[in-house]
Amino acid sequence: MSRILTTFLAMGLSLPAIAGLHTTLAQAADERVVIADDDPDWGLPAPYLQGRGGMGYILTSWVFDNLVGQDAKGDPAPELAREWKRSPDGLSFDLTLDEAARWHDGEDVTSADVAFTFDYMRTNPHVFVSLANVAGTEILDEDRIRITLSEPDAGFEAGVLMGLPILPQHIYEGRENPRRFTDDAALTGSGPFRLVSHDRAQGRYVLAAVEDYYRGAPRFGELLVVKMSSEAAIEAIRAGEVDVMTSVPFRLIDRARKAGLSIIESAAGHPAKLRFEHEGVFADVRLRQGLAHAIDRATLAKIAYRGGAVPANLGYLQDGSRWFNRKGLHPIRPMPNARRRFSPNRLGAWRRWLVDA
């Protein structure tokens, strides 16, 4: 919990690079960490009540554990499952749960909870995780479970095991619409923190550490998330009133550095896209390709984002992703001729130029 990392998504045909900003947390031994965020509300920190943005997921991850976690480098690490093994054919995973894991109400976390979660989320899909490739689950004993896939999936560990929050069966069983289940019990997780209070009007969350958390007591006793503009957050951090702000606009980077704040830079990995309906004049792929060549993305990134973005690669996956493979990519380079010859008022001429080319 020494730093909170979130990404700032720039709107353009580029890959953002600036992620978050934090102090060095000199007061790390203190009980409370104050986190400033400029969004008004991220919902409640529960799988079906959370906001769909990054901070909503982070809040929920403090309250609900996944089967597999991440270490400081982002690699798979034990969480509810202390060990797991993929079968040689890639069609099943055997997981052994940490026998010390407990729900916040004191009940044991068991393989029955995991099996229930997979069944329940097939009927009530989770917003971030797809279980379409899960053929079934088999409870081997109280702390061991086998998950079977319909076909091998190289991304199952990183996508499902690391992304799916596990639900307590004794709380969610019989809840036909979990998005309307807003009782306090809905926030019963097995994570390192529990929600103490949430003020939607003020955009304020207070979370308290679970002292008997099965993976060890959290470093901080309390997390306070407060709504605050970026400008105010910078001044509050400098004054020692705030420890972390979740993101910083590019226009405030220089101001933040001058204030002595430490800035964490990280590629967001999510390209912003320009999309076309594939009908009408844009039904012709050559027109779409021509426009792609006409946009100077490098200059756009330099001017619009002040060096905080880079041209994206083709497709969704970007540099830094473990799934990215540059081999075979065909870069889109700007064509000055295309930009000079394009005129919004002469679409017919533009089309003829593409066809003739």
Q: 50 and 169 in one domain?
A: yes
Asked if residue 265 lies in contact with residue 17, where contact means CB atoms within 8 angstroms, the answer is yes
Token code pair at residue 323: 């799934």
> If you search the block for the tokens 């929920």, which residue do you land on?
60
- Position 290 in a domain: yes
- Position 294 in a domain: yes
- DSSP category for residue 30: S
Q: How far is CA 334 from CA 273, 277, 294, 345, in A?
A: 16, 22, 5, 21
Rg of the chain on CA atoms, in Å: 24
Burial class of residue 5 (count of CB atoms within 10 Å of its CB; 0-12, 13-18, 19+): middle
- Split into its structural domains, the chain has a count of 2
pLDDT at 336: 55
Q: Which residues are within 8 A (CB) of 54 and not within 5 positions of it... i.e. 6 or more apart?
A: 6, 7
Asked if residue 145 lies in contact with residue 114, where contact means CB atoms within 8 angstroms, the answer is yes
Asked if residue 3 lies in contact with residue 300, where contact means CB atoms within 8 angstroms, the answer is no
Distance CA 216, CA 212 (A): 7
- Position 32 in a domain: no
Q: 169 and 48 in one domain?
A: yes
- Position 178 in a domain: yes
pLDDT at 335: 58
Angle ∠(62,68,69) on CA atoms, nearest 5: 50
Structural element, H or E, at residue 92: strand 92-97
Picking from 217, 202, 210, 182, the residue whose alpha carbon sits closest to that of residue 45 is: 182
Asked if residue 10 lies in contact with residue 309, where contact means CB atoms within 8 angstroms, the answer is yes
DSSP for 174-208, please give it.
Answer: T-S-GGG--SGGGG--SSSEEEEEEETTTTEEEEE
For the chain, which residues score pLDDT lower than 50?
Answer: 1-29, 339-357
Distance CA 245, CA 255 (A): 14
Domain region containing 320:
280-356
Q: 295 and 177 in one domain?
A: no
Q: 190 and 50 in one domain?
A: yes
- Position 36 in a domain: no
- Position 148 in a domain: yes
- Residue at a domain's end among 146, 163, 194: 194
